Amino acid sequence: MSVYKAAPGSLALYKIRPARVTQVSDKIDIDLGAGKGKRVRDKDIVVLHPGPLNRLEDLVELEGELTEAWELLSGEQTQLDELAALIYGDFTPASAWATWTLVAEGLYFEGTPERILVRSAEQVAADQQEKAEKLAAEQAWEAFLKRLEQKVILPEDRERLSEVEMLAIGRTEGSRILQLLGHQETPVNAHRMLTQVGYWTADFNPHPLRQNLPWDDPELEMPSLTEMERVDLTGMAAYAIDDEGSEDPDDALSLEGDRLWVHVADVAAAVEPDSALDHEARARAANLYLPEKIVHMLPPQITRQLALGLQPTSPALSIGVKLDDTGQITDVKLCKSWIKVTRLTYGQVNECMNSTPFCEIKAITDRYRERRHANGAARIDLPEASVRVSEGEIRIRPLQPLASRDMVTEAMVMAGEAIAAYALEHSIPLPFATQPAPDKPEVPEGMAAMYAYRRKMRPSQSRTQEGPHAGLGLSCYSRTTSPLRRYLDLVVHQQLQAHLAGDPLLSYEQIGERVSITEPINGAVRRAERLSNMHWKLLYLKQNKNWEGEGVVVEMTDNKVTLLIPELAMETRIRVRSPLPLDSRVPIAVREVDVEDQTAWFRLIG
């Protein structure tokens, strides 16, 4: 309740604002200034001074003795008129409002007009320190935002920017910093900011982290190999044929008369189902092949011990296959073995394809490929490129079609079909790879037709039930030859090992569980690899701003042409004035590159 009654000309407190009472009746009319007024109830206001107050503009700022009054009254309580007189020497509407402002501020005084408490020195000091700290924090924040706008940061800024990093790698959906700077809160913009200010290096690759994939190899110890009887095949020449620089050769070829042997690294001898290593590999699903590094599914020491040809002799699962004249598999042998491997590159083998044993192996794989093609296997040959980063240097090397590469590919597919048929014959549950046929199967000729046909292809799937794989032209198929690099290949080997040893097999339900866990992760691995390759290609173009090359026309839509760039294995769209013939080659140059947005623009030359 107010000390004073409301009367025309008195000073009142309405909510937190000063008001001048203009008329009193059943309700009270008040003037709020700036031409605004209001009719209120008596209980809605507190009269601070009886007046007269002619206008609110008379409530001017006053100079007073605040500190002396506070020290004099320390620890006591007072009321508004007494406090106003102590501070300002008189109790007027202006001093009443100035005094109430101090009380409302709450630093030296607190309470109501009738009962004002004088705060202690300790309370005031604590509030002043808190206020100073808050002001310092606000000033530091403003200075930080200014540095970001100037694209310069200090070491202590890195902790603040971790919020932006979480958005850049997809862990959060927002960033206060980006919002305050007026930027759209997206991973692309977060990435751009972090590289611009030097939090990340200009070539930092965020895409594996954005897919929530591990960045380091597993740190588990390799157990001893399971003891088992092995066939000594070290007297048979075995060749592990890979790209130059390959670090994990997991398959090799041998020829024994008319039988082709495909030897595969015996990873199941070290990784038992549901072991710690098995669970780790299952959670990773596959090796992650990045231009700058490989993130392994299994500890690297397993690769060093079990990859074919890295030790004097290698343990293997050996698959021996015979074909009839039509390319049909007629006989499959399966055994655990010891082999002695010679490592060769595709280029080395390609130079001696007319020599023994490669010409004989090629004759077998050619016969097999002809049968697959006769069964509708897709014939798609579009540009591919190897992207590697070493000591900061980006190297992009187009992969040339090689007879040696085709030969090895066919042998691996043959082994997968042989194992699928063997598993069905012996009732061994396996993950089968299947792929539905396109709506209108065809044999595309030319790059444009292959480009269009590839878009019709449906993705392959892993299932516990066998089914056709349209892309390979096979009625059943199981990926078998990469147990060091793909978890489901390892599962195949674990099943075959149990079968050969007479041990219990994993059930269809257990195989299905492994498939359901790894398939989404495999998708993330493929996306991370694709986006990472593009990341480094774009950085290469950014470093080579005068790049010029050739594009192949694969599609025309309205006034835009889609080009494939064989040298880079990239795709781009360019606006043109008139149509260009499909499969024609045109000279192009890079125009602009946006690494963070995964985009490059090209222009036609001439």
Per-residue pLDDT tens over the stretch 15-50:
999 999 999 999 999 999 999 999 999 999 999 999
> What confidence tier does 416 reach under pLDDT thresholds 50, 70, 90?
very high
Instruction: Phi first, then psi: give them for residue 324, nearest 5 degrees.
Output: -90, -175
CB of 590 within 8 A of CB of 547? yes
Residue 604 banded pLDDT, cuts 50, 70, 90: very high
Q: How many residues does the chain have?
A: 606
User: pLDDT for 42-75, tens place per residue?
Assistant: 999 999 999 999 999 999 999 999 999 999 998 8
Average pLDDT estimate for 371-392: 92
| Bridge pairing between strands 548-557 and 560-565 | antiparallel
Which pLDDT value is given to residue 246? 83
Q: CA-CA distance, 456 to 466, in Å (whole number)?
A: 22
**What pLDDT was estimated at residue 236?**
96
pLDDT for 1 equals 42
| d(C-alpha 306, C-alpha 314), whole Å | 6
Provide the residue ranges of all domains of the chain, joining segments of one domain with +: 11-121, 125-200, 231-535, 544-604
Domain 544-604 in the same topology as domain 125-200: no
| 256-304 tens-digit pLDDT | 999 999 999 999 999 999 999 999 999 999 999 999 999 999 999 999 9
CA-closest candidate to residue 447, choices 378, 376, 379, 381: 381
pLDDT (0 to 100) of residue 2: 56
Q: Could you tell me which CATH number the domain at 544-604 has?
A: 2.40.50.140
Burial of 165 (0-12, 13-18, 19+ CB in 10 A): buried
For the stretch 219-257, pLDDT in tens is 998 888 888 899 999 999 999 999 887 888 999 999 999
CB 553 within 8 A of CB 446: no
Burial per residue of 362-380, b for 16 or more beta-carbon CB atoms within 10 angstroms, e otherwise: bebbebbbebbeeebbbee
Any idea which architecture 125-200 has in CATH? Answer: Orthogonal Bundle (1.10)
